[in-house]
A and B are shown apart, each in its own frame.
Chain A
């Protein structure tokens, strides 16, 4: 079964308190996980998204689609990146847990539909 593991947030307020050591640690963790998932053949896809501040949102306004600058959700709840992994739900949760243990920030795990 395939699951999407989602990470949220942007480079904003959360950055204020982070030390360089924390950031370096975060990069190392992500690199380690990327490599592990690839070598185990678990990852189907993995992408980071550009900061939410660069997003454009298309809404239906006044009877037409209108594009405005900015993300759909608040920056802190905007999608930052994802993995799609082909694993059991337990393993998907375990992967997410490794990141959450470090960031202390929520991640979402959701099954990818077939067809």
Chain B
């Protein structure tokens, strides 16, 4: 690892801690954030040349603190006195004097890990819409700049900056304080945090390959934050489950697309391209958390991913175990997407007709009316059942509905293959007898 990377990683790790310390003392999230950005910039410029300081966090706090003071000094006296209340660790209201030299050069504080947790929870405040939660979480705790977040979500930078700024205002006016949510709300809020991280991961994972390289940053960021959350909350099974799910899914990324940018389905992926270290880490997490009861949806999905990733070849996949896990998932977190995936597993164990019958129950489900996924899965099963005409129609229907370019290309190709089977194509032999 180059010195440059080491500094970058260090700064990413320290940034939320420094931000947390400042916000905890002074409120004024915006001003503190700007100050931290200044300090990070200074570090990025100076440390490569002068070396990383012995106490890097103190260095950052000092520089950020100075930046804050300068900012306050240049504002009106009224603005300097106005500050949102921030509870100090002892639980008393403290009107911290912004010119108090105390906060300059603060040493290591054991509360720093908790500060990051507070920021994560704050970013997922219920007053915010999901896009705002994503943006604020990535901004406050994630290692991405506003520019990078904007690029990742394909919105103009000014739009993203506004979204983040409005989000901060909204949580301020909702009376949010720099502390964990009250005990009764904590479990729900953690659920939101996990969901936000899942959305970030998904956003990065399901987009196209090729020129959209910045999207890989999103999956890396989601994994990093999930890892952080797991370190802070080691006893939470669903946190471990989400981390495992991300690792086990991301492990397959290199094999997911081919040279032409087309999607390669799981059954056809070159497994030697899978990231075995990520798989090992994911498997270990799944094994450790399977003992916790009750199993939550992320843990179950991780367990399913584990069964896939453990199989040396597609043919050796333990489909009966996957089906059993989906049946539990259908009890724990029922929904049309689970039914879709369960139908695939059902087909692999009991034959395509069984899977198609289950899919039929979704035909009247409104939630499936505007997605291509029902037709896509149906097309696969019809193909396996040997009904090439109906399969082709289904593939084309799905291709017309999807808003994903790689998905559309994949589905169009599958439709075309049914119309023009290659000479000596053994694809018709995909109709495997039920296990």
In the assembled complex, which residues on chain A have CB atoms less than 8 Å from the CB atom of B415?
Answer: 15
Q: Across the interface, do B262 and A24 meet the contact criterion of CB distance under 8 Å? A: yes
Asked if A31 is at the interface of the complex by the 8 Å CB criterion, the answer is yes
Q: Across the interface, do A24 and B399 meet the contact criterion of CB distance under 8 Å? A: no
Asked if A23 is at the interface of the complex by the 8 Å CB criterion, the answer is yes
Q: How far is the CB of B189 from the nearest CB of chain A, in Å?
A: 35
In the assembled complex, which residues on chain B have CB atoms less than 8 Å from the CB atom of A35?
Answer: 210-211
Q: How far is the CB of A83 from the nearest CB of chain B, in Å?
A: 13
B interface residue count range (under 10 / 10 to 19 / 20 to 34 / 35 or more): 20 to 34
Q: Across the interface, do B260 and A24 meet the contact criterion of CB distance under 8 Å? A: yes
**CA A34 – CA B260 in complex, angstroms?**
12
> Interface segment, A50-58, A84-92, A96-104, A106-114?
A50-58
Q: Across the interface, do A20 and B400 meet the contact criterion of CB distance under 8 Å? A: no
From DSSP, what is the main secondary structure of chain A's interface residues? helix
Q: How far is the CB of A12 from the nearest CB of chain B, in Å?
A: 8
From DSSP, what is the main secondary structure of chain B's interface residues? helix
Asked if A69 is at the interface of the complex by the 8 Å CB criterion, the answer is no
Asked if B416 is at the interface of the complex by the 8 Å CB criterion, the answer is yes
Asked if A28 is at the interface of the complex by the 8 Å CB criterion, the answer is yes
B window 391-435: CB within 8 A of A = 396, 399-403, 405, 408-409, 412-413, 415-417, 419-420, 422
Number of interface residues, chain A, beta carbon within 8 A: 21
In the assembled complex, which residues on chain B have CB atoms less than 8 Å from the CB atom of A59?
Answer: none
Contact of B416 among A23, A48, A50, A54 (CB under 8 A): A23
Query: Across the two chains, which residue of chain B brings its CB closest to A50?
Result: B403
Q: Across the interface, do A11 and B413 meet the contact criterion of CB distance under 8 Å? A: no
Contact of A27 among B211, B260, B401 (CB under 8 A): B260
Asked if B131 is at the interface of the complex by the 8 Å CB criterion, the answer is no
Q: How far is the CB of A45 from the nearest CB of chain B, in Å?
A: 10
Known: A20-B420, A28-B260, A31-B260. A51 touches B400 (CB 8 A): yes
Asked if B261 is at the interface of the complex by the 8 Å CB criterion, the answer is yes
* 24 pairs of residues in contact across A and B, judged by CB atoms under 8 Å: A10-B400, A11-B396, A11-B400, A11-B408, A15-B412, A15-B416, A18-B416, A19-B420, A20-B413, A20-B416, A20-B417, A20-B422, A22-B416, A23-B413, A23-B416, A31-B260, A35-B210, A35-B211, A38-B211, A50-B402, A51-B399, A51-B400, A53-B400, A54-B400
- Ranked nearest first, the 4 interchain pairs of A and B with the lowest CB-CB distance are A51-B400, A20-B416, A28-B260, A27-B260
Known: A24-B262, A48-B405, A48-B408. 8 other contacts (CB 8 A): A11-B408, A20-B422, A27-B261, A27-B413, A31-B260, A34-B211, A51-B400, A51-B408
